[in-house]
């Protein structure tokens, strides 16, 4: 099916979504009730899942000719590029708001959570840009990750997670029966260690030390120091505390996505002991329209792992890919309540493989 023009311009929703983070503080001026500040969070975790339910799924696919045209259309790159200044505008606005007004404890907690949850969208942006080959996109990817001090991500994700995905060796692939609260203690430190190992190995091949100016992880970390230093200079030490507090909340958004994307799925080994090539069946997929439009098709994760270089606008649906019951925002909420998660997802997983654990990562 064609990528019709109305859908093409709906990708602007991805670019504009960070602005929703400002609605709480805007409305708070006229309705000074603390719960008003939580409207952006309610939009993410309740309104988007509800819209997914209303608009259901979109399983349309571009054909090979259309894929080539989509990949060459600069419109889709500009959507990504323009989201970055919007993210930093929202980031600065909310930090400045927190340091400029006397707010109660819970009001401050809600705004910092909003910073963290919407900061997760910048990690998703960095993910999309980081898969591109051109130096501009890769530099902007480092900048997108810098506001949350997550500069190791693209190295770990591209060269680590994509290689080991859906195997017991992958710290970013959740296992059957593993709650998200256990997973995070394996996923986050495992990702940092793997990123540094990959980057040090790459530099060693060039006879360079880990602290070389060519260290791609340090590039993004230096951008983090620059951003945090500038925020402190402009807004004071309170701003530094705020940006330090929001960063782990951003990391949790990525953990949430990693947890649901490969839960229990396992690539099999061939006769030589090597894992089979990653296929669509090794990632949980979701074709829910609204959450895909605001997440740059991240939820078409099956095609993303089968074809990592394919851009977001070209990602396809596969009939044999395992399907999530709803979009990512709804699945996050389910994951945060492990008994409900296990009841829904363990049942789906065991039914898929007829209770045969040799096909399941556990």
DSSP 312: G
Report the predicted TM-score, pTM, of the whole model to 2 decimal places: 0.94
pLDDT bucket at 5, cuts 50 / 70 / 90: low
Flag whether pLDDT at 260 surpasses 70.
yes
Per-residue pLDDT of 127-161, as tens digits, reads 999 999 899 999 999 999 999 999 999 999 999 99
pLDDT tens string 71-94? 899 999 999 999 999 999 999 999
Q: Taking 80 as the threshold, does the pLDDT of residue 299 lie above it?
A: yes
Of the pLDDT bands very low, low, confident and very high (cuts 50, 70, 90), residue 1 is very low
Whether residue 194 is predicted with pLDDT greater than 90 in this model: the reply is yes
pLDDT at 103 over 90: yes
The pLDDT value given to residue 37: 97
Average pLDDT, stretch 324-344?
Answer: 97
Contact 135, 153 (CB under 8 A): no
Please provide the DSSP assignment of 216-253 as one string.
HHHHHHHHHHHHHHHHHHHH-HHHHHHHHHHHHHHHHH
Task: Name residues whose C-beta falls within 8 Å of residue 303's C-beta, 6 or more positions apart in sequence.
Answer: 280, 285, 310, 315, 316, 317, 318, 321
pLDDT-wise least confident of 5-9, 132-136, 184-188, 277-281: 5-9
262-290 pLDDT, tens digit per residue, is 999 999 998 888 999 999 999 999 999 99
Please determine, for residue 348, whether its predicted confidence score (pLDDT) is greater than 50: yes
pLDDT tens, residue by residue, 55-69: 878 888 888 888 888
Is residue 148 within 8 A of residue 326, CB to CB? The reply is no
Task: Determine the distance from the C-alpha atom of residue 28 to the mean position of all C-alpha atoms in its chain, rounded to a whole number.
Answer: 29
pLDDT score of 3 more than 60: no
- Contact at 8 Å (CB) between 271 and 137? no
Band the pLDDT of 2: cuts 50, 70, 90.
very low
Q: What is the mean pLDDT of the chain?
A: 94
Residue pLDDT, tens place only, 14-28: 889 999 999 999 999
Q: For the chain, how far is it from start to end, CA to CA, in angstroms?
A: 38
Residues 305-315, mean pLDDT to the nearest whole number:
92
């Amino acid at each position: 099916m064609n990528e019709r023009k109305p859908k093409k311009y709906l990708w602007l929703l991805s670019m504009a979504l960070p602005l929703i983070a400002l609605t709480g503080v805007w409305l708070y001026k006229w309705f000074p009730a603390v719960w008003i500040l939580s409207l952006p969070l309610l939009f993410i975790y309740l309104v988007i899942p509800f819209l997914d339910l209303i608009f259901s799924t979109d399983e349309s696919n571009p054909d090979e000719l259309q894929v080539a045209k989509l990949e060459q259309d600069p419109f889709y790159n500009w959507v990504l590029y323009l989201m970055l200044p919007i993210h930093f505008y929202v980031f600065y606005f909310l930090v400045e708001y927190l340091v400029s007004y006397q707010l109660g404890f819970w009001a401050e907690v809600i705004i910092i959570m909003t910073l963290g949850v919407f900061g997760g969208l910048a990690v998703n942006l960095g993910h999309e840009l980081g898969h591109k080959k051109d130096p501009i996109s890769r530099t902007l990817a480092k900048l997108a990750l810098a506001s949350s001090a997550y500069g190791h991500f693209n190295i770990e994700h591209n060269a680590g997670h994509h290689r080991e995905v859906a195997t017991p060796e992958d710290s970013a692939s959740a296992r059957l029966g593993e709650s998200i609260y256990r997973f995070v203690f394996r996923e986050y430190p495992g990702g940092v260690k793997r990123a540094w190992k990959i980057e040090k190995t790459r530099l060693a091949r060039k006879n360079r030390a880990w602290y070389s100016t060519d260290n791609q992880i340090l590039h993004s970390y230096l951008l983090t120091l620059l951003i945090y230093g500038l925020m402190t200079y402009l807004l004071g030490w309170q701003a530094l505390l705020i940006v330090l507090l929001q960063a782990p909340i951003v990391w949790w958004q990525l953990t949430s996505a990693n947890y649901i994307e490969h839960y229990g799925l396992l690539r099999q080994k061939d006769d030589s002991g090597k894992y089979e090539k990653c296929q669509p069946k090794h990632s949980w997929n979701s074709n829910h329209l609204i959450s895909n439009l605001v997440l740059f098709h991240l939820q078409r994760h099956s095609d993303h792992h089968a074809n990592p270089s394919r851009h977001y606008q070209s990602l396809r649906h596969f009939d044999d890919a395992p399907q999530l019951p709803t979009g990512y925002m709804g699945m996050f909420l389910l994951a945060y309540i492990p008994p409900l998660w296990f009841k829904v997802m363990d049942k789906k997983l065991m039914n898929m493989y007829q209770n045969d654990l040799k096909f399941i990562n556990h």
